[in-house]
A and B are shown apart, each in its own frame.
Chain A
Amino acid sequence: MLKPITILVSVDSNSALLGARHYKNYLSQLVKKYNLDSITDVLETGSFGNYGEGVLISILPENIHYSVKSEKDIELIVQEYLLKGRRVPSLVVEKIEKEETEEKKKNVEERVVLRNAGEIDPKNINEYIAKDGYQALAKVLNEERIEVINKVKESGLRGRGGAGFPTGMKWEFTYKVDNPEKYVICNADEGEPGTFKDRLIMEGDPHSVIEGMAIAAYAVGANKGYIYIRGEYFESISNLRKAIEQAYEYGLLGDNILDSGFNFDLSVRLGAGAYVCGEETALIESIEGKSGRPRLKPPYPPVSGLYGKPTVVNNVETYASVPPIIINGPDWFKVLGTSNSAGTKVFSLCGNLINKGIVEVKMGTTVSDLVYNFGGGIRDGKAIKMIQTGGAAGTFIKPEEMNTPLDFDSMKNYGISLGSGVILAINEDHCAVDVALNLMEFFEHESCGKCTPCREGTKVIVDILHKFSKGQGSEELFNSLYDIAETMEASAFCGLGQAVPIPLRSILDRFKDEFMAHVGVDEAPCGVCKFPKKKKKVH
């Protein structure tokens, strides 16, 4: 019998730590105990987008969201709501209303990539199929490969991993190389601090990534694919593996897919969590079983990638965007964004915001909308000091620059990065010197050591910033940071070292006064840095 009541428990890597899985099991147990299991389904689903203090559950079709913090809360919900039909107001969370009023329209997400997250059971392929899953694959298998590539080109889809390279062009390069052996790789390394969107996509809707990859493989003529994912993404790994297994059982992966003669094998490869392994050629080395060090480019992966064969490397979000483009057509996607940046972007909101989590919005949404309308503003009534956009390798901006729209042109037009879509809000309690130091220590630690400019450059930068944080800085040292930035930008071997100057310069440019306030004084002006005590003069 169909079950008219569905309870979705949002299980993602965050809520799992709060006991989501345990609550789900307890809920199932009680539902059984009260003989409600013939009418009630208790299912896991992906992230609802926002991170609450408790585990979020949604009861459908009533569409009530509850936040659960203990077993008692679960008991209350079962006894009050399921048995007596009464709401439990103390546990209800207000949802961001999707009303049509002008004021509220601003808060409405545009969900393409996250279309199923938080709505379906990611471990059940049938639910993905119910949401039009695998129809795009079935459709392209009846088309010429070049037609598929042209559609992706026309849609204007560009890479969501940070660099924003046009996806259709990348596929076309790979397609054009004549080689019986080609590969497609999904970059699920997600090493950019503050980025967690790929994780929530894979947890909430793993089949969308698999379908996108199968389409790419067909289009370029590859028969083998790998998802390279960081080893600590347990939920993503298990959901993806389960999804791959189910796709094989249905014959949506493997030999002769949908009787088309197209074969595609897909498997998961685990990374060990080095930032540089997100760089596509280092990633390829890592899959080959070598240590993850970047290769010299060119040749680029479409010409010579995995095992020297033509290879497409795309980000998780990029692949997940493909099936809806095929189903709805390129024009539908194009009009969602701005002229040079089609579609939507999933942003990871983090730092001192009230609402942390992921949101998917049209390209061209402003930083201010992301911070205030979606992020809810700054926590604890504090003032905002700066925002880092784009991830660790992105730019720091001041509050007065927040009206900038974010898309692939915002770097060119305003000097502000879109990057992998991070909004890191930093409040007034933080010190610019300390923030810069913290970030540069990350790059120093993650520099792979292959090239001198990056290995030594990051070290010298950190040493100088340390000096500022101890009250030993100077104008000369401040200026020398720009020199190092210039050298690294010009001579670092890969994108890691080349990108370090972006956040560095942006924070130096905007917060010079704060750096200088640390010079020539006995005590740190910020309340964050700690200057060593001056030795008392002995009389």
Chain B
Amino acid sequence: MAKIKSLEDLMKIKDDAVKNLKLRETGKRGKIVVAMGTCGIAAGAKDTFKAVVEELSDKDIDDISVVQSGCFGLCDAEPTIEVKLEGSEPIVYGHVTPEQAKRIINQHIVNGKVVGDLIIKRGEL
């Protein structure tokens, strides 16, 4: 480990470490659930999951949690993800490749507009 020589050095370490801790914070604005059943994983859900986490962190979005779940029962549309924002109805998206995942984050999470062409279900599962 390099020695810390100044407050700036210290703050640099802090900024990095904070990202990790932010992920643990509770009481967030919403969450993204990635279906990781066998069907989802076979269709590439792991890459989708990774893309979601990376895009959120690239965009410094720390009020959205990411969790995984079993199969939503929408196996023909895998990989599927569900976006649940506080105060609005949950949306399930299908065929979410890593590219589409980034689109969903930018359009839905950042700008608050659902991504119409990927929706396969509205409301509680």
Contacts and interface: CB of A to CB of B under 8 A. Distances in A.
Contacts of B4: 134, 250-252, 258
B16 to A, nearest CB: 7
A63 B28 CA distance: 11
A283 B31 CA distance: 53
Interface in B47-90: 49-50, 53-54, 57, 65-70
Contact of A251 (B5, B21, B27): B5
A85 B24 CA distance: 17
A259 B26 contact: no
Interface string A242-261: 00001001111000001100
Interface in B18-53: 18-21, 23-28, 31, 33, 36-37, 49-50, 53
Contacts of A139: 7
B17 A1 contact: no
Interface stretch (A3-11, A314-322, A409-417, A494-502): A3-11
Contacts of B70: 83-86
Given A83-B36, A135-B10, A251-B3, A6 B67 contact: no
Nearest to B23: A4
A120 B1 CA distance: 20
A138 B10 contact: yes
Contacts of A258: 4-7, 10
A61 B49 CA distance: 16
Contacts, number: 105
Contacts of B7: 135, 138-139, 258
A126 B20 CA distance: 10
A258 B13 CA distance: 14
Contacts of B1: 246, 249-250
Contact of B69 (A60, A84, A130): A84
A39 B3 contact: no
B69 A126 contact: no
Contact of A4 (B3, B10, B21, B65): B65
A129 B24 contact: no
Contacts of B68: 5, 39, 82, 85
Contacts of A134: 4, 10
A450 interface: no
Interface residues of B, number: 36
Contacts of B20: 2-3, 41, 126-127, 130
A63 B25 CA distance: 8
A174 to B, nearest CB: 27
B26 A120 contact: no
Contact of A63 (B18, B26, B37): B26
A53 B36 CA distance: 33
Contacts of A2: 19-20, 23, 53-54, 57
Contact of B33 (A85, A120, A127): A85
B24 A6 contact: yes
Interface centre among B37, B65, B68 (most CB of A within 10 A): B68
B6 A126 contact: no
A126 B25 CA distance: 17
Nearest to B9: A258
Interface in A50-83: 60-63, 82-83
A132 interface: yes
B53 A1 contact: yes
B23 A3 contact: yes
Given A1-B53, A4-B23, A4-B53, A61 B17 contact: no
Nearest to B15: A130
Contact of A129 (B10, B36, B54): B10
Contacts of A83: 36, 70
B24 A60 contact: yes
Nearest to A60: B24
Nearest to B71: A84
Nearest to A131: B21
A8 B28 CA distance: 19
B69 A61 contact: no
A354 to B, nearest CB: 26
A63 B27 CA distance: 9
Contact of B65 (A62, A127, A131, A246): A62
A1 B56 CA distance: 12
Contacts of B14: 129-130, 132, 135
Contacts of B18: 130
Contacts of A120: 21
B3 A250 contact: yes
A62 B17 contact: no
A126 B3 CA distance: 13
Contact of B21 (A39, A130, A252): A130
Contacts of B5: 251, 258-259
Interface string B89-120: 00000000000000000000000000000000
Interface string A235-247: 0000000000010
Interface string A336-369: 0000000000000000000000000000000000
Interface in A89-144: 119-120, 126-127, 129-132, 134-135, 138-139
25 contacts: A2-B19, A2-B20, A2-B54, A3-B53, A4-B67, A5-B68, A39-B68, A60-B25, A61-B25, A63-B27, A85-B67, A85-B70, A126-B13, A126-B16, A127-B17, A127-B20, A129-B13, A129-B17, A134-B10, A135-B14, A249-B3, A250-B1, A250-B4, A251-B3, A258-B10
The 8 A-B residue pairs with the shortest CB-CB distance in the complex, in nearest-first order? A85-B69, A251-B3, A84-B70, A130-B17, A60-B24, A63-B26, A4-B66, A126-B17
Interface of A: 1-6, 8, 38-39, 41, 60-63, 82-86, 119-120, 126-127, 129-132, 134-135, 138-139, 246, 249-252, 258-259
